[in-house]
Amino acid sequence: MFFYISFLRPPPTSCSSSLSITPQVANDLRTEFHESGPLDIYYSWLSVKTGEQTRPAKLTTWRGQASVYKEIPVPLPRGAAAGLWRLVLGASSIALDAENIGDKPFGVMSMPIQLGAGQSNKGKAKLQDQIERVYTFGEKRLRITEQTSFDLDKKIWDSGIGLSSWLVRNPIDDPNALRILELGAGTGIVSLVLGAMRPADEIITTDVESAMPLLRHNIAQNASPVRAEVLDWDEDAFPEGAFDILVMADVTYNTASFPSLVKTIKKAVGARIIMGYKQRDPAERELWTMLANEGIQLKHTGMVGDAIEIWTTRTDAESEGVH
């Protein structure tokens, strides 16, 4: 599994002379802490105005459960002018094209913090409710905003990163402009990666209504050609026209939704399926049986790390030699 540095207690929106946070290092659902030995967490400051970043300095050492709820003071950038700054914990970007992706916990960046005289420093400032992670591959760079809340459709999940990494390293080999549909997009990372790789394609990314504001924000801030639409698997509505490819990541967390999910997948008649999957419960494997009963055979095509499985409707000949 992947581990993420995040803010259990996020920074404020503004401050003058001191700032404290409560960092944590945990899995995507924040249910398991990083426990494989001490981990030094470094911090830096990024100026919103100039783009300059301070030299990383050690903030604290994460020691698993013993470090949970530990409030840490963060030194403000020395001699910095008043203005908007972002606090960065860990690496400032995540390389999707790295073969060893996930070997180290993923870094995190705060939203802009107003630093300087006249800003609140007595706990009155509102705490931030969003964070940002930056993903890179080749010369491309994507900014993905997440909520700090526990809403499942508003944060990054392992399979979204895993499938994105796999697509970067195993690009779709078709010179034609394709129609691509994503189910259960969440923050939109998979479609945004595809949009950056294949800007001529028509890519429609879908999720429930509550996911739309953040999903559309991420599309807009990356100037992506991707289009977001509401698609509730329990409803009959479905985007018009045929699709060449159907992509999905982490759509198996609710086994009760499988009949509706299968019904929705069937509507994408003839589309090649590419799915990122991380097992959280053995009962999730029932989806494969349900799809097979509808004539849809998924084949295990690759792995990302030791937990993210890639399943596709490739033929055996196409799958041979793909890693």
pLDDT at 122: 52
Closest CA to 246 of 223, 269, 271, 264: 271
- Same domain for 212 and 91, yes or no, is no
Q: What is the CATH number of the domain that holds 173?
A: 3.40.50.150
- Looking from the CA of 288 toward its CB, the CA atoms found within 13 Å total 15
Where among 136, 161, 177 does a domain terminate?
136
- Same domain for 53 and 125, yes or no, is yes
- Same domain for 162 and 231, yes or no, is yes
Q: Which residues make beta-bridge pairs with 135? A: 94, 142
Confidence of residue 321 (pLDDT cuts 50, 70, 90): very low
Confidence of residue 304 (pLDDT cuts 50, 70, 90): very high
Number of residues assigned to the chain: 323
Looking at per-residue confidence, does 322 or 74 come out higher?
74
Encoded amino acid at 313, one letter: T
Question: Using one digit for the tens of pLDDT, what is the confidence trace for 258-303?
Answer: 999 999 999 999 999 999 999 999 999 999 999 999 999 999 999 9
Task: Please name the helix (run of DSSP H) or strand (run of DSSP E) that holds residue 263, with its range, or none.
Answer: helix 258-267
Confidence of residue 323 (pLDDT cuts 50, 70, 90): very low
Q: Which residues make beta-bridge pairs with 23? A: 7
Residue 79, pLDDT > 90, answer: no
Query: Residue 248 in contact with residue 276, Cβ under 8 Å?
Result: yes
Confidence of residue 82 (pLDDT cuts 50, 70, 90): confident
pLDDT above 70 coverage of the chain, percent: 94
The residues, ordered by sequence, that sit 6+ positions from 224 with a Cβ below 8 Å of its Cβ are 191, 192, 195, 196, 218
Closest CA to 185 of 249, 141, 239, 92: 249
Question: Using one digit for the tens of pLDDT, what is the confidence trace for 14-70?
Answer: 998 789 999 999 999 889 999 999 999 999 999 999 999 999 999 999 999 999 999
Please state the rounded mean pLDDT for residues 164-176: 96
Where among 136, 164, 189 does a domain terminate?
136
Question: Using one digit for the tens of pLDDT, what is the confidence trace for 180-231?
Answer: 999 999 999 999 999 999 999 999 999 999 999 999 999 999 999 999 999 9
Q: Answer positive or negative: Cα dihedral of 232, 236, 238, 244.
A: positive
**Alpha helices in the chain, H assignment, sequence order:** 158-169, 189-197, 212-221, 258-267, 286-293, 316-319
Structural domain for 225, as ranges: 150-319
Count how many domains the chain has.
2
Residue 109, pLDDT > 50, answer: yes
- Same domain for 230 and 160, yes or no, is yes
- Same domain for 255 and 180, yes or no, is yes
- Same domain for 29 and 64, yes or no, is yes
Closest CA to 3 of 87, 86, 131, 90: 90
pLDDT at 117: 55
Q: What is the CATH number of the domain that holds 12?
A: 2.60.40.1930
- Same domain for 163 and 312, yes or no, is yes
- Same domain for 160 and 249, yes or no, is yes
Please state the rounded mean pLDDT for residues 232-238: 93
